[in-house]
Structure formats: C-alpha cells, structure tokens
Structure 1
Amino acid sequence: MFGAGGRGGRRAVTEAVSRGHQVTAAVRDPRRHADLAGDNVTVIAADVTVADDVAKAAAGHDAAISSIYRADLPAQEYYPAAAHALIDGLGRAGVARLVVVGVGSALEIAPGVAFHDQPGWPAEHREFSLGHTAELEVLRASGDALDWVVIAPPPAMIDEHADRTGEYRSGDHRVLPRAEDAGPFSYADLAVALVDEIERPKHSKEMVAIDH
C-alpha cells in the first residue's frame, strides 16, 4: 500500500485488514505513521518514485494499491515519476496487479473534454489533475506485464469522516451522473472499491469512475 499515511491510504489499509489481508504500509516517514502498525500491518519507509523502494516494499505481495500525494512537488512531475517507478519496481517484485487512486476531475464530461477543462476551473486544481492524467498516460504505455486500473471518485470533496456503506456504482472514463441532493462520496467507500478490484478484478488497463 503506497501512500498508506494519507486519508485514502489509511482507509484502504483498514479495509484490507478487515478482510483478512496482510498489508505492508509504505510511507516516506514511518515515525509519523507508527499508529498504522498492527498484527496484520507492517510499516516501512519507501519513496514511490524510486523503483528500488517499490520493489523492496512489494516483494512477496499479490497486489499493490497506490494512494499517493505530494504537495511539495509539481504534480506533472511527481505522478508520472511514480508511475514509472511502480511499473519498474512491481515488475521486479513479480507483482502483476496495481490499483491506483485517481481524481474525478480527470474524467470526461464530453468526448475529449475533461472535467478540469471547464472554463473557470482553478489553475492549481487543473495542474493537480493534469498530473494524474500524465500518470495515466504512463500506465497506458506500460505494455502487458502490469494489470492496472485507476479508480476515480467523483470530482468533488470526498468525506473523510462518513461511515462505510460498502456500496458504490462504477462506470467508465466519464463522470457519472449524480442526483442534485447526493451527499459527498466517502473515503471509506473508495477503500471498498480499491480492495474489491484486488479481490475480484472487474476492470483492466483503464480509468474507472465510481460514485454513490
């Protein structure tokens, strides 16, 4: 689990452990995330942009989840660099399945038009979204060795505290329609979708929208 210390990563660790999985929580500074450690969770230091670190963290595992984030690096450099390192490192470790957390703003609202292309979309948010788009392009060019999927929650704030319902809809590379009174999607249900794609893969080599 790369990015295990973040909001999405922590939820994914909890979800995976609740289903009986052994999890390696890869973070940049294990001292900051010592609370993640438990009977089924080992916390290790790893930089997801370094293929050697990825290979070491992934060794002996069946699959990997990437829920990474860096605020101190340009998104269009960080996310493609991580994708290259994941492809290389997971290949060396013999891990063939990768589930990546994407962003809903990279989903399309019309053919060839991403949500982040809307007039007035804040430049800093677009930069972040374009980083995820660049990551997706690296994955698309990775060949046949890695079976990857990018899971994109709706392009809105995700609720950090909402309870897990265990329910979600999935679509394709387009923003899913939602009711006007629909509440925010939760990190807990994002975690459900992530672990589902490891246990029962339904999508391969594509970006998939999810929502309530």
Structure 2
Amino acid sequence: MSRIVVFGAGGRAGRRVVAEAVSRGHQVTAVVRDTATYAALAGDQVTVVRGDVTDADSVAAVAAGHDAAVQAAYQSGLPVDEYFSRAARALVEGLGQAGVGRLVVVGIGTNLEVAPGVMVHDTPNFPAEGRIFSLGHVAELEVLRNADTTVDWVVLAPPPAVLDHEAERTGRYRTGGAQVLPSEQGAPAFSYADLAVALIDEIENPKHHRSLVAVG
C-alpha cells in the first residue's frame, strides 16, 4: 500500500485516479481548490484537502509523507502556458522538499508526434485555441525536462481525441513513445478509467522515466 497525493482530484481524470488507487488499497490525499465542493470524495481511504498546485510551499505541505503524486489539475483562470509551467515548477520543487520520489502527470495527446518533429498541434487546420492549450502542456514538459530534481517524473499522454468519461474500466491499455499510437478502425474511444489504470500502474511498477509516453 502506498500513500498517493492527487492534484486536481475533482476533475474527470482526477476522480478516476482516486477511484483506481482506492480500489487497489492505496491511501489517497485528494487535493482540490474547494474542499466543500468535493467533500463527497472523502472516505476511509481518501482525505480531501485544499491545495494549490502552482505554489511550491502548498505542494510540499500537502505532499509530505506521501510516496507518489499525480498531477491532473487545471485552472482555467490563468493563461495555459503560465499555469502549466508554474505547476510543473511548483511540483518539482515542492515534491522535492517533501521527499516524494515519483510524479505521474496527465498529458495531452496533441503533444504527440504524427511524423518526426511534427506534433499533432502543428498539423494543418488545427484549431488555434486548441493549439494554445497544447502549447501550455509543451511548456510544462520543458520545465520538467530542464529541472534539476530528484523527482522521477513521467507524462502519460492519451490519444489526441475526446476521452470517454462514462466507459467502465477494462484494465487494458498500451504504451509507446512520443508518437501517436496507431488505432484500429472502429475501436472505441480510450477512457478516463483506463487512463487511470495506466497512471496508477506507473506508481506501483514504474516503467517509464523522465519522458513523454503515449498511452491508448
């Protein structure tokens, strides 16, 4: 059993991560911005706390005593490049202070390559608003890659499509490199539930280190 701190525990990915971790017997600290809104997350294995993933001192405070962290948070009130880069800096600093050795980050599939050096968000006719959001994740990744830290991080990027938030967990997924994984015609959309399986697997049995990894 591990103690896992989940930032953004109230979102679609975060809720699934909490549920997956609990189902495996882990103790979870669910970090949200408003504990009253997400009080229903609390349980025998889940403690709900207020925290700010963009503030290193807050990260260190809520992460103390934990074995691993999951970053699934997003705050729409800040420019995306500022938010994700600030969060990445706060996480590596705060988790380092708290002695947390493993960080698993929910990435975005539009950061994956469709050809060598060509990311999904660089393809013709890609929506401008979506590209801005995707570049925010690029900024996050650059902070992680350049950080002088003992934290062993990995970014898992699901397919560049809308994930199924209602589908039940199958426990099946595959991983690759930094390229979009080929998909079979007619295959169902990848689900948040199975993304959560991959995220918790990387905590229980780390296979990827300091890299962007496609999952689908």
Name the residue aligned to 1:124: 129
Q: Which one of the candidate residues 37, 53, 66 is aligned to 1:48?
A: 53
Q: Which letter maps to 2:77?
A: D
Question: Aligned-pair RMSD on alpha carbons?
Answer: 0.7
- Length-normalised TM-score, structure 1: 0.98
The alignment partner of 2:36 has SS state of helix
Runs of 4 or more, structure 1, over 6 Å off, are none
Structure 2 match to 1:108: 113
Counterpart of 1:169 in 2: which secondary structure? coil
3-state SS of paired residue (2:49): strand
Q: Secondary structure at the match of 2:193?
A: helix
Q: CA deviation at 1:74?
A: 1.0
What is the identity percentage for the equivalent residue pairs of Structure 1 and Structure 2?
63
Gaps spanning 5+ residues in structure 1: where? none
Specify the SS of the correspondent of 1:191: helix
Letter in 1 for 2:111: A
Residue pair 2:109, 2:157 contacting (<8 A) in 1 also: yes
Q: Does 1:148 align with 2:139?
A: no
Contact between 2:159 and 2:180, CA under 8 Å: does it hold in 1?
yes
- The residue matched to 1:170 in structure 2 has which SS? coil
- Paired position in structure 2 for 1:70: 75
Deviations, residues 135-169 of structure 1 (Å, cap 9, x unaligned): 00000011351100000000000000001000001
Q: Which residues of structure 2 form unaligned runs of 5+?
A: 1-5
> How many Å apart are 1:70 and its aligned residue?
1.9
What's the counterpart of residue 33 of structure 2?
28
The amino acid of 1:99's aligned partner reads: V
| Matched letter for residue 92 of structure 1 | Q
Question: Which of 1, 17, 30 is 2:22 aligned to?
Answer: 17
Residue correspondences, number: 211
Q: Which residue of 1 aligns with 2:214?
A: 209
Whole-angstrom CA distance in 2 between matches of 1:135 and 1:198: 20
Question: Where do residues 117-196 of structure 1 align in structure 2 (5 Å cutoff)?
Answer: 117-196=122-201
Superposed displacement of residue 100, structure 1: 0.1
